[in-house]
Chains A and B, each alone.
Chain A
Amino acid sequence: MNRQIVIDPVTRIEGHGKITIHLDEDGQVENAVFAVTQFRGFEKICEGRPFREMPSLMARICGICPVSHLIASAKACDELLAVRIPPTAANLRKVMNIAQIVQSHALSFFHLASPDLLLGMDADPAQRNIVGVLKNNPELARGGIRLRQFGQQIIEWLGGKRIHPSWVVPGGVNGPLTAELRDRILATVPEALDIIQKTLNWFKRTLARYNEEIRTFANFPSLFMGLVSRDKELEFYDGSIRILGAGGNILADNLDPARYTEFIGESVEEFSYLKSPFYEPLGYPNGMYRVGPLARLNIIDRAGTPLADQELAEFRTLERGAVLSSFHYHYARLIEILHGIEKIEMILNDKEILSSHVRALARPNAFEGVGVSEAPRGTLMHHYKIDEDGLMVWANLIIATGHNNLAMNRGVLQVAKHFVDGRKLQEGMLNRVEAVIRAYDPCLSCSTHALGKMPLLIELVEPDGRIVDELRREK
């Protein structure tokens, strides 16, 4: 008797998706797929609108990472204007982008993932949340909330609001930084650095408890992709694309992000609204690659800031070659937070940062533009085409979560095969299946461009559709 288990929706992620686990006649896992059940349609909505509206419009894709979309969109618009934006504007955008990455990573690690890590994968689901963390380790929870605030506060100070600021515009930003504000941001750096260093130490001590998960959480060879700076350091705003092979070898380097269509193919699965990009030269599905914190730390030569470089050296000792377990996305996220805070300090101490020349003014000079930046979850691509008047005629978006689609599916299958036993279904087993998805910190609302129900429902369904078992978790 073949059966299937459906986890719908997956909890403690951003957006709505479901996992379907197919069991064979002995109750063993045969297959498992992760489907994104929501549809957004931004690529269509934008058609016919003025391109200068795009940064604000596209930012509405996501309430968690509006800044990431703002940045990628503004970069695509810079290409339409065909201008070189003032260096200070690029630096100010970088500060806001990093603040976004820090706050999103803090949300992912502390609010969404840390309940599993602190309280255990099998802990009571009623406790396994940020409130449970607050009870059991108040310092950890408070630190997480403060770190998120650190990032959000910088976004608000720079852009006027925490969510959906409109300060980043085609050609630069719409106002310079004041000395007073620079100093106010710099004053918040020491506390943030202290919190992240303590958290890293705590996390490294707990790693030993999760050997089984590390071994099985989407731990397989794959390619890794991301932006690197000219010096091959960690880069979130600009740079070229580097692709790392499964063995840790550099497969492709110095790729121009604007020419992404030459090396990235996009396929569509019937069961999901999320498309599955792949590395074109290796074809589908062998061209499966991962993006995001783990990928970024795998592909770079060094981080580029002193404290993060120390941590990176330690991180690299986890495995020979590339670090393959997606469980280590969490670890990588913490190192990126550390790097981000150091980098913000570095950029703000640049003597040109207070320059009042922060915007290049121009009319559209090109009909096509690609903007690529690193969002918290990985490489983000906005590609626009406009008509002579500057009205949008076409858009293609590849969202960070989309790049990871093939790898997430592979991870779900791996974890389900290892942990799920259809003969005696337990909540903790299924939580691990969700947790592997959580490790990627997918943002489904972003990636499909959102409707869904929040309670978790797991069903055991017979081939004739009869429900034989059911686990229900109310909101």
Chain B
Amino acid sequence: MSPNVRVKTLKIDGKDVSAREDQTILSVARENDIFIPTLCQMDGLTSVGACRLCLVEIKGSAKLQAACVTEVQEGMEVVTDSERLHSYRKMLIELLFVARNHICSVCVSNGHCELQSLAQRLGITHIHFPFRYPKLAVDLSHDRFGMDNNRCIRCGRCVRVCDEIEGAHTWDLMGRGDASQIVCDLNQPWGSSETCTSCGKCVHVCPTGALFEKGKSSSEMSKRQEFLPYLTLMRGDHNE
């Protein structure tokens, strides 16, 4: 920490903590071993506050704030775990499950999935919303990788890693709301993409079985994400 950086002090869950002025609530909480669930956030990529799982209560504010994009302030009092937050988080996860076809038992990422393990950690045993069962095709046209929109939670990590780290910008989000969908280039089969460098970064940052290596059977796709902090460190970036 350089001498010019100003330090803020605040309370998270009643605990006194200190932070750099440019830090987010999420980053300070993690430094202090306070758990806040996330799915779209990833160290090394820009935070976008899309999944809303990291919502926290801030004293004096009626609105809940996404911890991944909210910077600390002097004297802030943050609550990361309350009954209200817990019920919202469970609802969000349940909505992710009903929006697409997440069939854990046969998924390539079964046992290695961030959505699945978060659902388990939050104690989700039943889904209280009707399933939508959209009919979505699997894209296996790429030589080495597969894309299954049925398992996608539209966190956008693949879009950001492809754009910010690889610089290819093969992936993007198309449509709005529940109709939004990850598309390749101009909404075309992955195998026909002219921008894709086949680097595989998107596959490994994907939190679920939506992006996977071809040749993997059920439960065999575990993701290796260590490359990302390494790359950002070596490039001297300090995105969180």
B-binding residues in A (CB < 8 A) = 48-50, 52-53, 55-57, 60, 164, 166, 169-170, 174, 361, 363, 389-391
Contacts and interface: CB of A to CB of B under 8 A. Distances in A.
Interface stretch (B8-16, B33-41, B209-217): B209-217
27 contacts: A48-B137, A48-B138, A50-B140, A50-B146, A52-B215, A52-B216, A52-B218, A53-B108, A53-B218, A55-B217, A56-B218, A57-B106, A57-B218, A60-B105, A164-B105, A166-B110, A166-B217, A166-B219, A166-B220, A169-B217, A170-B217, A174-B217, A363-B215, A389-B140, A389-B191, A390-B140, A390-B214
Contacts of B137: 48
Nearest to A77: B217
B141 interface: yes
Contacts of A57: 106, 218
B134 to A, nearest CB: 13
Given A166-B219, A390-B214, A391-B140, 10 more contacts: A52-B108, A52-B218, A53-B218, A56-B105, A56-B217, A166-B218, A169-B220, A389-B140, A389-B191, A391-B138
Contacts of A170: 217
Nearest to A168: B217
Nearest to B141: A389
Contact of A53 (B141, B191, B217): B217
B177 to A, nearest CB: 25
A391 B146 CA distance: 11
A48 B138 CA distance: 7
A361 B214 CA distance: 11
A55 B214 CA distance: 16
Size band of the B side of the interface?
10 to 19
B135 to A, nearest CB: 9
A50 B138 CA distance: 8
Contacts of A53: 106, 108, 217-218
B138 to A, nearest CB: 6
Contacts of A56: 105-106, 217-219
Interface in B97-142: 105-106, 108, 110, 137-138, 140-141
Contacts of B138: 48-50, 391
A60 B105 CA distance: 9
Main secondary structure of the interface of B (DSSP, over half): loop
B226 to A, nearest CB: 23
Contacts of A55: 217-218
A310 B219 CA distance: 43
A325 B146 CA distance: 52
Contacts of A363: 214-215
B222 to A, nearest CB: 12
Interface string B61-91: 0000000000000000000000000000000
Given A50-B138, A391-B138, A391-B140, A60 B106 contact: yes
B26 to A, nearest CB: 34
A391 B142 CA distance: 13
B213 to A, nearest CB: 11
Contacts of B110: 166
Most buried by A among B214, B215, B216: B215
A44 B128 CA distance: 27
Contacts of A48: 137-138
Interface in B129-175: 137-138, 140-141, 146, 148
Contacts of A389: 140-141, 191
A41 to B, nearest CB: 14
A389 B137 CA distance: 12
A390 B215 CA distance: 10
B1 to A, nearest CB: 46
Interface in B161-217: 191, 214-217
Contacts of B220: 166, 169, 174
Nearest to B146: A50
Most buried by A among B148, B214, B218: B218
Most buried by A among B105, B137, B140, B217: B217
A36 to B, nearest CB: 25
A230 B108 CA distance: 36
Nearest to A55: B217
Contacts of B191: 389
A363 B216 CA distance: 11
A390 B191 CA distance: 13
A105 B221 CA distance: 35
A89 to B, nearest CB: 13
A49 B219 CA distance: 15
A231 to B, nearest CB: 32
A361 B220 CA distance: 14
A389 B189 CA distance: 11
Nearest to A390: B140
A214 B235 CA distance: 81
Contacts of B217: 52-53, 55-56, 166, 169-170, 174
A390 B217 CA distance: 12
A361 B218 contact: no
Most buried by B among A50, A166, A169: A50
